[in-house]
Amino acid sequence: MKPQDIITGKSSLWVFGYGSLVWKPDFKYKRSKVGYIQGYKRRFWHGDNYHRGNNETPGRVVTLIEEEDACTWGVAFEVAGSQLEESLKYLNVRETVCGGYLTQFVEFIPRGEAQSPIQALVYIATADNPIYLGPASTEEIAAQISVCKGKTGHNIEYLLRLADFMRHSCPDVDDPHLFSIEAACLAIIRPILLAAQQPVFA
């Protein structure tokens, strides 16, 4: 769906973020709510040759994989009125043109509110995308993330900030995939950081 087709006839739109959007929206919005969507699990299975990697060493970023009993926590942002055109154009470049994600609508359930689900736009990368990487072991994913870097920063930053968001904004929610990759990545980089702190001449 093109940005213009998404916003036609709408005075406001919710966008659900579950990756870098949760800690770096960088677009104009009216308000945001933490919550979840059902029927999808979050996985570091999409490749990134722009923001967090390049063609030689693509980074690993998250996408959503359909799974009946799964749910994924994140943040939904309401974009309204005059914000719509500018924000959707920005997201189209960031997520679709540079990131390879496609758009779809999902039901977002705000945390702790007895209210109806909200229809929200979400960016999802599928297995037929040329930069999709697919499943790998926790150790392989962590090893790849620990060395990749793209135009907006290191792949480690993407991982650690997402894990931080889950710890601080969704403290009761476990996310074994995310937290096991974070632990494996820290195990790789910690010795390197410690060695860098040692004086050269002991």
Residues near ligand SIN (CB under 6 A) = 19-21, 24, 51-52, 61, 94-95, 99, 152, 158
Residue 190 in 3-state DSSP? helix
Q: Cβ closer to ligand SIN: 21 or 37?
A: 21
Q: Cβ closer to ligand SIN: 79 or 201?
A: 79
Residue 18: enclosing H or E segment and its boundaries?
Answer: none
Rg value, the chain, Cα = 18
Tell me the sheet residues that pair with 150: 153
CB of 114 to ligand SIN, least distance (A): 31
Q: Cβ closer to ligand SIN: 129 or 152?
A: 152
CB of 99 to ligand SIN, least distance (A): 5
CB of 27 to ligand SIN, least distance (A): 10
Of 85, 95, 139, 140, catalytic: 95
Q: Which residue is nearest to ligand SIN (CB)?
A: 51
Helix axes 138-147, 176-197, angle to 10 degrees: 50
CB of 112 to ligand SIN, least distance (A): 26
- CA nearest 29: which of 76, 75, 77? 77
Q: Cβ closer to ligand SIN: 155 or 196?
A: 155
Neighbours of 116 (CB within 10 A): 9
Helix axes 155-169, 176-197, angle to 10 degrees: 120
User: Is residue 139 among the annotated active site residues?
Assistant: no
Angle at 28 between CA 167 and CA 161, to 5 degrees: 20
Q: Are 142 and 189 in contact (CB under 8 A)?
A: no
CB of 199 to ligand SIN, least distance (A): 35
Residue 133 in 3-state DSSP? coil
The CA distance from 51 to 98, in Å, is: 8
Q: Cβ closer to ligand SIN: 36 or 101?
A: 101
- Active-site residue list: 95
